[in-house]
Amino acid sequence: MRTLIVLLALLVSLAGAGDTLAQAKLEVTEVDAWLVRDPQMSSQFAVAEQLGYFRAEGVKVNPRWYIAGTDLPSMWGAGNIHLGTATATMVVPIAAAGQAIYNIAPQSDIAGTQQVVLGKKGQELVRSPKDLEKVKIGMPKGASVTMAIQAMAKDTGVDFAKIQFVNLSPPDAITALAKGDIDAMAAWAPWVFNAVKQAGGQVYFTGNRSFIPGKEGQVDWLHVHAGVVVSGKMLKENPNTLKAILRALKKATDALNTNREAAVKIVAKEMKMDEGLARDIMALNIYSMEINDKIYRGMGEFVDFLHSLDRIKQKFPAEGVFYTKLLEEVDPTLVKWKSRTDIR
């Protein structure tokens, strides 16, 4: 009888183990990932691929590199993309169009690469933030950095409505800055680096750091993050595969933060850019997979911003584009804010 009990216990144990293995089995072992060729957006995917972290998890990830993140909404609508990287400027139009898209994990805080640079003339004219009301700032109309300028204005008593904006692409803004046709420019890396080097510019503030005299230090003027996004179909049908990908990306995030020089070489090669430029851009990014309420609030701010520009016709609850359950199952310590989203 004692032997029988031991055998039964063993069988129950094996059955439980079998169930666990069945739950952990990957639904698919090969997926395409649509990645913006940008160290701000897709560094962890590049590192995980090159260091074999995806292979170690039993999944083959095929990078489908493309250049402009703004192309994602139109590509997503075709229904052929199920995994990628994106910021709120890409996610919000997709969700507003009624298409299912979910941010399942952050990748990086990229607010530091969004900058306002004073030209040589601007450095003479702008003695305090209030002086921004008297100068011309060149920038693409509706760029995300606008939100940083709005937040700065609110914090420092600047009348945002009085600031003169000139609609210029980043390359044209650099030329205008060098000529003195504008006094400042607002853009993102690497264009802001060129503004400093080629036009004698000086960084006045970024989305998360102020260099304003008397107000130097960390600020909270722009919440913009890159994250891992998936379709509703991918989320419903392949949760185990997605968790394997998140485990690999977590390893890549750790590797990126603990051995930056090795990561720079990988990222520069994958992004087809000079190592020095990759290093400079990556130094401004905060690579982390921790999901917190700042990321959630940032998505809501982009909903309001894009609606104010009439880029989306109606607002929607920002929580609807987050799904944190998978990340919580991979590493609960990374989930500081939980979504309550149902999968569509």
- Identify whether residues 57 and 196 lie together within a single domain: no
Distance CA 165, CA 219 (A): 23
Q: Within a 10 A sphere around the Cβ of 157, how many other Cβ atoms?
A: 9
DSSP string covering 207-276, please? SSEE-STT--EE------EEEEEEEHHHHHH-HHHHHHHHHHHHHHHHHHHH-HHHHHHHHHHHHT--HH
Domain termination site, one of 202, 218, 234: 218
Distance CA 183, CA 165 (A): 10
- Identify whether residues 97 and 120 lie together within a single domain: no
CATH number, domain of 124, equals 3.40.190.10
Give 116's strand partners: 186, 205
- Identify whether residues 106 and 139 lie together within a single domain: no
Give 132-186 pLDDT, tens digit per residue: 999 999 999 989 999 999 999 999 999 999 999 999 999 999 999 999 999 999 9
Say if 285 falls within a structural domain.
yes
Tokens of 210: 């102020």
- Residues of the chain where predicted confidence (pLDDT) is lower than 70: 1-23
- The domain tally of the chain equals 2
Domain termination site, one of 166, 194, 218: 218
Distance CA 228, CA 61 (A): 13
Domain termination site, one of 174, 194, 218: 218
- Identify whether residues 194 and 153 lie together within a single domain: yes
Say if 291 falls within a structural domain.
yes
- Identify whether residues 266 and 296 lie together within a single domain: yes
**Residue 19: what pLDDT?**
38
- Identify whether residues 234 and 328 lie together within a single domain: yes
Give 222-251 pLDDT, tens digit per residue: 999 999 999 999 999 999 999 999 999 999
What residue numbers bound the domain in which 200 lies?
A: 112-218
**275 CB-near residues (< 8 Å, 6+ apart):** 264, 265, 268
**Residue 24: what pLDDT?**
78
Whether residue 174 contacts residue 199, with contact meaning beta carbons closer than 8 Å, is answered with: yes
Q: Within a 10 A sphere around the Cβ of 30, how many other Cβ atoms?
A: 11
End-to-end CA distance of the chain: 52
Tell which residue, 92, 69, 41, has the closest CA to residue 301: 92
Say if 232 falls within a structural domain.
yes
- Identify whether residues 40 and 178 lie together within a single domain: no
- Identify whether residues 127 and 257 lie together within a single domain: no
**Residue 71: what pLDDT?**
85
Distance CA 273, CA 258 (A): 22
Say if 15 falls within a structural domain.
no
Say if 301 falls within a structural domain.
yes
- Identify whether residues 162 and 264 lie together within a single domain: no
- Identify whether residues 163 and 90 lie together within a single domain: no
Say if 6 falls within a structural domain.
no
- Identify whether residues 86 and 175 lie together within a single domain: no
- Identify whether residues 104 and 228 lie together within a single domain: yes
Say if 243 falls within a structural domain.
yes
Say if 53 falls within a structural domain.
yes
**Residue 84: what pLDDT?**
96
**Residue 201: what pLDDT?**
97
